[in-house]
Amino acid sequence: MGNRIGCVLHAADLEQERPINPASLKVIPLGGLGEIGMNCLALELEGRRLVIDCGLTFDDRGLGVDVVHADLSYLAEAPERLEGIVVTHGHEDHVGAVPYLLEACGAAPVFAPPYALGVLKERLAQHEAGNPPGLQLFAMRPGDRLRLGPFEVEPYRVTHSMPDCTGLIVRTDQGVLVHSGDFKIEDDPTDGEGFDWDRLARLRDEEGVRVLMSDSTNALVEGSMGAERDVATRLREIVDEASGRVVVTLFASNIHRVRALTEIARATGRKLCLFGRSLRMHAKIAADEGYLPGLEAVEIPIEMARSTPRDRLLVLATGTQGEPPAAFARLANANHPELDIEPGDLVIHSARIIPGCETRVYPLFDELARRGIEVLWRRLDPGVHVSGHAHRAEQRRLIEALRPDAFIPLHGTHMHMERHADLARECGVEDVLVIGNGQVVEIDAGPLAVSGVVPTGRVHRERGRTLDERVLHDRSLLASLGFAVVSAIVDVRGRPVAPLDILTRGVLHEDESQELLDDACDEVHAALARARYHAERPDLDDIEAVAKRALKRFFGKRMMKKPLCYAMIHRRP
């Protein structure tokens, strides 16, 4: 089978592309491909490994999962081979799972921009397993050159929706790789730290680029994106016109927007109040790193929000995706202990609504409207938010600036990556490969090729412990079907000797429950009475199986639904 350039290769169907070349450079994505979030990429050369980013995603099925990260078993099986971990920036989907990687592999050195390092330190302080012995954390800055075994890593400045973001130049004896990190392109960013085109131009002219690996998040969006300065201007106009409180819900890490709103508060004579623990955490890190000048002059404690005059208060709140415990949902539902928003106040949703979260966010908008509170959001006023990820025009600009020999799209669903791959071909890149998590790509003198697969998947965490798929499957069934438990006392032959009892949850409406439960008891009782067993004294497991089948059959006939059914059988001596 030849090199299948431009098609998605599925690990489950993979045939061996070619014999593994021990001298080749291997690119091994463990997370972030075919999905949004959970980014984690390993490079391997001469038996040594380098990890770029190790992030989280979140499970929105309501099954009690706190966080999800990539299966790290491939790295954990040989922790001594790990030269280091390099983090591109401080978003949770890139840095949030580093504590789990350190737990699995020991104290490999971690390199990150100062802002991301601040986020990582907070996450390590909260991590259930604590810091590994010998923890090594190092700040890296654009232009630094990090020698990590056979890899030399140089960060370069990119613009994104938070400060201090980098892409990576990785030098090896198989050529230069460029990892874009998450990026957008702003020629006049609000923090003055612009995308470093000059560095990339010198790299292209002096060394060339063997492979570009690039962010595909907005590969479906044509044209160019808006600028953060334009959002700041529009928010200032809105706040200027507001007569009551203004509540802005935004991503906690969007420090560029927090900075703009800090300046708006100062200019309009309002006090700024931060609602949400993660927002206060990011604001503290940003202030410590010099990214939020003037915050202390306008910020007030959350306890002072209620007593501040309505026309003198600007509130920033977390929870843009409608998360029930977050500040925005509690404010919208009028159950926040520190503040009640009222008719005449204004709410601005200054974020993208992630697909799938509409069912949580739109009811909050509706509740606010019912209470007479105006809501502005992207569909009503496009000026209140811009994305942090490059649109197709900016993606094209990066590809054309670097002119790589080969291209691998990263960070997105398969649809995103396929569209990004098409764009690379339009830009004249012939060696383009779309891959999935776990697939091993070899980089040598020939075209890109997949040579094998490594274990990958998702690890679900609840309070630090791992939840296996069976637990999640059971929780999903319980949520959708409910459960019923029948309790019976039987004699030595398995015949009922007392009335049965059935307990249900999530199955019956209160008005219909007693009559239906009585009928269910009768049916299970009859099934136990007529059951035939191989032994004169049947095992309790066999009796329980009869009761469970009868209970499930009853609900299937009467309700056209079979809940999870269990039986508790007690034998009378």
CA distances from 446 to 25, 203, 262, 452 (A): 12, 22, 53, 16
Helix (H) or strand (E) holding 364: helix 358-370
* CA angle (124, 128, 134) in 5-degree steps: 50
Q: List, for the chain, all residue ranges whose pLDDT scores fall below the cut of 70.
A: 1-22, 60, 62-63, 510-512
Phi, psi torsion values for 570, nearest 5 degrees: -120, 130
Are 74 and 178 within one domain? yes
Give the pLDDT score at 105. 93
Do residues 68 and 141 lie in contact, with contact meaning Cβ atoms separated by under 8 Å? Answer: no
pLDDT, tens only, 385-406: 999 999 999 999 999 999 999 9
Q: Both 24 and 100 in a single domain?
A: yes
Same domain, 216 and 261: no
| Same domain? 414 vs 455 | yes
Q: Return the pLDDT at 512.
A: 65
Coil/strand/helix, residue 316: strand
> How many CB atoms are located within 10 Å of the residue 504 CB?
19
Chain centroid offset of residue 559 CA: 38
Last residue of a domain, one of 408, 442, 466: 466
Query: What pLDDT is stored for residue 15 in this prediction?
Result: 43
The pLDDT score that the predictor gives to residue 264 is 98
Question: Helices 392-402 and 414-426: crossing angle, nearest 10°?
Answer: 50
Domain that holds residue 395: 11-223+387-466
pTM of the model: 0.86
The answer as to whether 476 is a domain residue is: no
Residues 404 and 312 occupy one common structural domain = no
Q: Which domain CATH number covers 53?
A: 3.60.15.10
Burial class for 534, CB neighbours closer than 10 Å (0-12, 13-18, 19+): exposed
Q: Is residue 48 part of a domain?
A: yes
pLDDT of residue 474: 83
pLDDT of res. 20: 60
- The verdict on 452 and 495 lying in the same domain is no
Query: Cα separation of 207 and 323, whole Å?
Result: 47
Shared domain check, 164 and 25: yes
Q: Is 274 within a domain?
A: yes
Contact present, 408 and 211 (Cβ < 8 Å): yes
Q: Which of 348, 382, 416 is the last residue of a domain?
A: 382
104 and 252: one domain? no
Per the structure, the count of domains in the chain is 3
What 3-state class would DSSP assign to 371?
Answer: coil
Of the candidates 265, 230, 266, the one whose C-alpha atom is nearest the C-alpha of residue 245 is 265
Torsion from C-alpha of 531, 534, 535, 538, nearest 10 degrees = -50
Q: Is residue 1 part of a domain?
A: no
Whether residue 249 sits in one domain with residue 202 = no
Residue 209's pLDDT is: 98
Q: Which residue in 178, 177, 197 sits closest to 187, CA to CA?
A: 197
pLDDT of residue 70: 94
Q: Tell me the backbone φ, ψ of residue 137, rounded to 5 degrees.
A: -120, 130
- Are residues 515 and 435 part of one domain? no
Tell me whether residue 63 is in a domain.
yes
Q: Identify the domain boundary among 357, 382, 407.
A: 382
Structure tokens at 467: 């939840």
Q: State residue 5's pLDDT score.
A: 34
Give domain status of residue 311, yes or no.
yes
- The amino acid at 207: E
Domain-located, residue 90: yes
Exposure string of 380-414, with b = 16+ CB inside 10 Å and e = fewer, is ebebbbbbbbbbbebbbbbbebbebbbbbbbbbbb
Give the per-residue pLDDT at 10: 36
Closest CA to 492 of 536, 533, 526, 532: 536
Q: Is residue 524 part of a domain?
A: yes
Judge if 76 and 212 occupy the same domain. yes
What pLDDT is attached to residue 22? 65
Residues 412 and 522 both lie in one domain: no
pLDDT at 469: 78
What is the pairing mode between strands 406-410 and 40-45?
unpaired
CATH code for the domain in which residue 365 is found:
3.40.50.10710
